[in-house]
Amino acid sequence: MSKPQNYTARLPDANGYIDYPQAEHEIWSELYQRQKINLPGRACQEYLDGLNKLGLASDRVPQLSEVDDVLLQTTGWKTAAVPALISFAKFFELLANKSFPVATFIRSREELDYLQEPDIFHEVFGHCPLLTNPSFAHFSHLYGQLGLAASKEQRVFLARLYWFTVEFGLLKSKSDELRIYGGGILSSPGETLYVMGTEPDIRPFDLIDVLRTPYRIDIMQPIYYAIEEISDLGAIAEMDIMAAVNKAQELGLFIATFPAKAG
C-alpha cells in the first residue's frame, strides 16, 4: 500500500488541531453538497443514520476529535491520523486496535470525482458513518486481526475482501433494491452515479469469488459484489476467512475483465 504520493498530509498542532486553508474547506464543502444530493435513494440507511450521528460540518473539514467523540460512544472506535497510503502491516495493526486510519489531506479540485489516494473526505465522509454500525465495526475489527496475523501472500488476497466490501460494497435486497455501503463509492460523486447505472456487473457475494477477483484502483469498477444487508458483514466475520484465503490461493485469480494498466 506504500508508493509515491501526490499529496502531503497536514500535521496537527500540539493540541491535535489541524489548520486547513480556506481553499480546502471549500473543496470539502463542494464535495459534501454534491453527495448530499447524490446519496438519498442510493446510500444504505445505516450509512445515512451514521452520517446523521456524526453531524459533520458541511462548510469545513472536520477535526478528527469531533469524529472520535461519536465513534467512541457508539462502537468504541476512533480515528488515527496518517499519511495518504500506509503499509499493510500498519493498516491491519490500526484496525485490530479499533483505530481507523484517516489521511489528513484533501483532494485537489482536479480530482473531485475520483481519487486513487484516500483523502480525508474519503475516510471521514465515506467510511466513518458506518463505523457507528455494530456489524460494520465488528467486521472491520476482525479483518484487522486477521490481517495482522496473515502472511504477506495472504494479505494480498485479504486486500480483495476489503476492496469489495468496505471500499466498494453494495447491498442488493431480495426485491432487487440496490444501495451503496462502500466508502470508495460513497465518497466519489462520479462512482455513486456510475454504480447505479446499467454498465457494472453486480454479483451476489461469494467469499472465495471475491478473494479471486482482480481489481484496479484507477478506474470505475467493472465488477461489484452485493450482500443483502449490513448485518451480513457480521455473518461473514464468523466464516473461516483464512481457510477461504488458502483455497483462493490454490485456485488462483480469475481472468481480469479490464485492460492492464499502461506502463
Nearest to 227 by CA among 149, 173, 146: 173
CA 226 to chain centre: 15
The Cα 84–Cα 246 span in angstroms is: 30
Model confidence at 6: pLDDT above 90: no
110 is catalytic: no
Model confidence at 3: pLDDT above 50: no
Per-residue cell: 43: 446510500
- pLDDT tens by residue, 67-86: 999 999 999 999 999 987 78
Provide the H-helix boundaries in the chain. Answer: 22-38, 45-54, 64-74, 88-96, 120, 134-149, 152-162, 183-186, 189-195, 207-211, 232-237, 241-251
Q: What is the pLDDT of residue 114?
A: 76
Q: What is the pLDDT of residue 59?
A: 97
187 is catalytic: yes
Per-residue cell: 179: 444501495
**Which residues are paired to 179 by β-bridges?**
171
Nearest to 72 by CA among 15, 3, 13, 128: 128
Q: Beta strands 178-180 and 170-172: pairing type? A: antiparallel
Model confidence at 146: pLDDT above 60: yes
Model confidence at 115, pLDDT cuts 50, 70, 90, reads confident
The Cα 203–Cα 163 span in angstroms is: 14
Q: Which of 24, 93, 123, 167 is catalytic?
A: 167
Model confidence at 2, pLDDT cuts 50, 70, 90, reads very low
- pLDDT tens by residue, 219-247: 999 999 999 999 999 999 999 999 999 99
Q: Domains of the chain, with CATH numbers?
A: 22-251 (1.10.800.10)
Q: What is the pLDDT of residue 117?
A: 85
Model confidence at 175: pLDDT above 50: yes
Give residue 191's identity as a one-letter amino acid code: E
Kindly state the average pLDDT of the residues 248-254.
Answer: 98
Q: Which of 127, 140, 191, 229 is catalytic?
A: 127
CA 98 to chain centre: 15
Query: What number of helices (H) and strands (E) belong to the chain?
Result: 12, 6
Q: According to the annotation, is 167 in a ligand binding site?
A: yes
Q: Which of 122, 140, 191, 229 is catalytic?
A: 122
Kindly state the average pLDDT of the residues 140-148.
Answer: 98
What percent of the chain clears pLDDT 70, i.e. is strictly above it? 97
Model confidence at 1, pLDDT cuts 50, 70, 90, reads very low
Q: What is the pLDDT of residue 5?
A: 64
The Cα 177–Cα 157 span in angstroms is: 29
Q: What is the pLDDT of residue 251?
A: 98
The SS3 of residue 11 is coil
Q: What is the pLDDT of residue 41?
A: 96
Kindly state the average pLDDT of the residues 112-122.
Answer: 87
Q: What is the pLDDT of residue 196?
A: 94
3-state DSSP helix/strand/coil percent for the chain, to nearest 5? 50, 10, 40
The Cα 138–Cα 79 span in angstroms is: 15
Q: What is the pLDDT of residue 263?
A: 60
Provide the H-helix boundaries in 177-258. Answer: 183-186, 189-195, 207-211, 232-237, 241-251
Residues in the chain: 263
Q: What is the pLDDT of residue 174?
A: 86
Q: What is the pLDDT of residue 36?
A: 93
127 is catalytic: yes
Kindly state the average pLDDT of the residues 1-22.
Answer: 82
138 is catalytic: no
**Contact residues for 8 (Cβ-Cβ < 8 A; gap 6+):** 83, 105
Q: Which of 99, 140, 187, 188 is catalytic?
A: 187
Q: What is the pLDDT of residue 260?
A: 85
What percent of the chain clears pLDDT 90, i.e. is strictly above it? 86
Mean pLDDT of all residues in the chain? 94
Q: According to the annotation, is 138 in a ligand binding site?
A: no
